[in-house]
Structures are given as C-alpha cells and as structure tokens.
Amino acid sequence: MSGTKRETWGSLRKLPSGRWQARYPAPDGEMYPARTEDDKALTFVTKTDARKWLASMHSKISLGLWEPPEVIAERRRAETAAEQSRSMGFEAYSKRWLQMIKTEPNRSGKIRAVGTVRSYQGKVSGYLIPEFGDTPMRDIDVNRIRVMTDRLDQIPAPLNPKSKFNGITRPVLIVLMMILRQAARDGIIPAAPSVSIPRQESVRHDADHDESEDIITPKQVEALYQAVPDQWAIMVQLAAWCQLRRGECLGLQRRDVEWHDDGSATLHVRRQLNANTGDYTDLKSEAGKRSLSIPKLMTDRLKQHLKDHVATEDKAPLIPASSRGAMPLSNTRWGYVWADVRDGVEGLPHRFRFHDLRHTGLTIFAQEGATLAELMRRGGHADIHIVLRYQHATMNRDRELADRMSARVAATLDRKKNAGKES
C-alpha cells in the first residue's frame, strides 16, 4: 500500500493507480489536495510533477495570491457564463426576454396584460427573429438596425397600400429597443445602440389630413344604426353617444346598466372584451373605469334592446353573439359586421372606423362646452395630450358663442343709434 511522503512543505502520496496526489497546508489552516481551477481532483503522472506543483502553490501562498479552490471555481463559472451570455444569439435572448416580461412588472409596477405580451411576441416572431436569427446580441449595432429599418419601411401598409407609412416599422423598433436595453441591464451588451424611434404617423390618411374630417353628423350616425342588424344596432349608439371603445361596448353586461326612478340611466364601464384573448379583462387604465349618464335620446332604444336581445341574468352580455345568448359578440365578428355596414352607408369619410363614432361623440360633447377634465372623464382618458385633440371643437363652440354675442351687442347698439336719430 502506497504511503504518504512528507515533503519539506506539503505532502505527496502515491495512489493505487500509480499516479501521485499532492496536499498542502493553506493559510486558513486546512490541508487541501491539489485541484484544477474548475475545482476537480488533480493528480500527477510522476512524483517530480507533483513536487513542481507543490512548489508553485507554495510561491502563490507566499505572494498572498492564494484563494480557496471553490472560490476560484465559482469565479470561473461566472466568467464562463458571462462569456456565453455575451455571445448569446438574438433568438435565444429574445425568447428569454419574452418569458421575463410575462411575470415581471413594468415600470408602473403592473404585470403586463396578456394582449400586450402577445403583441410583443408577434413583433419578435414575425419580424425580429427572421431579421436577426442567431446574430450575437453584441453585433446588433446602429448600422445593422438601419438595414432592418429600411427593409421594414418597404412593407406596404395593410390598411392603405398607398400610404408613405406602414404602421409596422415603429412598433417593431420599439420592441427591439426594449430588448436591447434589457440586454444592457443584464450585462449581455455594454450599452443599447442609440437609435431614434420615428414618430407615429397616420397610416390611413396623408399628412395633411384634418381630424375633423373623421367626424360625421347625427343623421349619419342614425343611418349606421338603422343599417346594423337589430340585435347589435345598439353598438352604434353606445360608441357615439356614450363614447365607448369597441372592447368596452362588447364587455358590457346587463348589470352595468343602472335605471333610476325618473327614467334616466347610468352606464358603468367596468371591463372590456379583450381582442387578443377573447376574454373579459380589466380596462387599460384606472381612468377607463367610469360611470356615464346615458343620453335620453337612446334610453328607449336601450330598454328595447335589453328586452329583446339580452338574457335576464345580471352577468348576461349586453351585446350577445346571439339573442339572449350567454356569449358576448366577438371583436372579430363585429369587425365583419361593421365592414359590411360601413360600406353600405353613403357619405361616410374615407376608411371611417367604428372608433371614429367615439371621436364624433366626444367632439359633439366638447362643442356643448365640456371642459378638458370632463372630456377626460367621459372618454376614460388617462393622458390629457390625447384629449387636446378635442380642443378645436371647444374653440369652434367658443367662436360660435362669441359671434352670437357680437351680433346681439351690435344689434343693441344699432337700435339705440336708430332711436337717437328718430328723436
């Protein structure tokens, strides 16, 4: 049996295999066997090799450079992982990023909606992975992004092939920059490339399009109401006169309509029918949760709609897929209904959207003298900059009132002037 050979410093032992094992006293008072930098057992072919290793370890300890083998191994593992991360390809990292955003809150501290994550996923799988594939994250620079941007800009706009803008480039770039900034925070790349995101441009219309052209008259709203199949016609009224978004209309239930003794009614907007998931989900912001006074011009029609088409249960959908059904009409099916109806009504603006009914209603609401705060509340807006688009309507109303005041004052002055001449 091979014994341990005591050396001047440390010890050597010949193993049954014929190889040699070295051990040494460390500064922490423990005896350590020779190990590799990966913290694996290290043995030597000859006794001379083992002695040389002991001598090198003795020198390292003398110079104060010694570290426990497990510390060295952990550092090497970290360095290897960091190097692997730095060489990580875009596809692998983008998938990791998508998993992260499903569970981690955004900057507002909220978990992202399923529809939002699905939208990001569509940009990643539909545009970014086909563009970058396994390109190392560190190789995606400004020039590489510019090439991608030029390619995206060539894609025709689905809604308007003649438009200069396609509505694709900007959202794809936004998602790419979100990924790259997270990669910088994770240490995958030194810093995110400095890329400017183009501002939002209208896809449906030219740059000189006036938003006031999207507003239709009450007579045209009525024509749309009459054109929609009876079981869903109330959608037009809800969008125009209660200023609801499509998902808010489809998310309504019988219990959301509160009737009062005087015949008036209040509408409580509490949820939406999510276009991505097909389920009821929370509204996009707290501002979206609101209670609205239902205009008298539509209360009789709403009563009749409830009687003819809505089931009696409190949670019955206000816009069911079939009369008195338990399932709400889907966003997709309503889209087909709306397209057929819109194309059959003469005089509507080019590419008039269902959402433009809401714009019409809020504009008329503004013309009646509503303040910006009242418009924000009515429309469920969280951002005042969005509501400022209706300021032109309040200014038109202000101008109308100023002209009427001017005419009245002028008429009074003329009467007094004429009376003075007669006397």
Note whether 280 and 389 are within 8 A (CB).
no
pLDDT at 369 (0 to 100): 82
pLDDT bucket at 214, cuts 50 / 70 / 90: confident
Q: What is the pLDDT of residues 158-196, one digit of tens each?
A: 555 565 666 788 899 999 999 999 999 988 888 999 888
The yes or no reply on domain 87-185 and CATH 1.10.150.20 is no
Residue 323: strand pairing partners: none
CA distance 172 to 165: 13
pLDDT bucket at 203, cuts 50 / 70 / 90: very low
416: exposed, middle or buried (Cβ count in 10 Å: 0-12, 13-18, 19+): exposed
Domains 87-185 and 215-350 share a fold: no
Q: Where are the domains of the chain?
A: 4-73, 87-185, 215-350
Structure tokens at 300: 């009789």
The contacts of residue 175 (CB under 8 Å, 6+ apart) are 120, 123, 124, 128
Looking at residue 127, what DSSP letter applies? I
362: exposed, middle or buried (Cβ count in 10 Å: 0-12, 13-18, 19+): buried
HSE (side-chain half, CA atoms, 13 Å) at 40: 3
**Looking at per-residue confidence, does 68 or 83 come out higher?**
68
Average confidence score pLDDT of the chain? 87
Average pLDDT estimate for 313-336: 95
pLDDT at 320 (0 to 100): 97
Question: Is 393 a residue whose pLDDT tops 70?
Answer: yes
Q: What percent of the chain has pLDDT over 90?
A: 56
Three-class SS state of 65: coil
Residue 267: strand pairing partners: 257, 292
**Looking at per-residue confidence, does 217 or 166 come out higher?**
217
pLDDT bucket at 66, cuts 50 / 70 / 90: very high
What CATH number should be reported for the domain whose range is 215-350? Answer: 1.10.443
Where does 63-113 have alpha helices with state H?
69-86, 90-103
pLDDT at 56 (0 to 100): 93
Where does 161-293 have alpha helices with state H?
169-185, 218-227, 234-241, 246-250
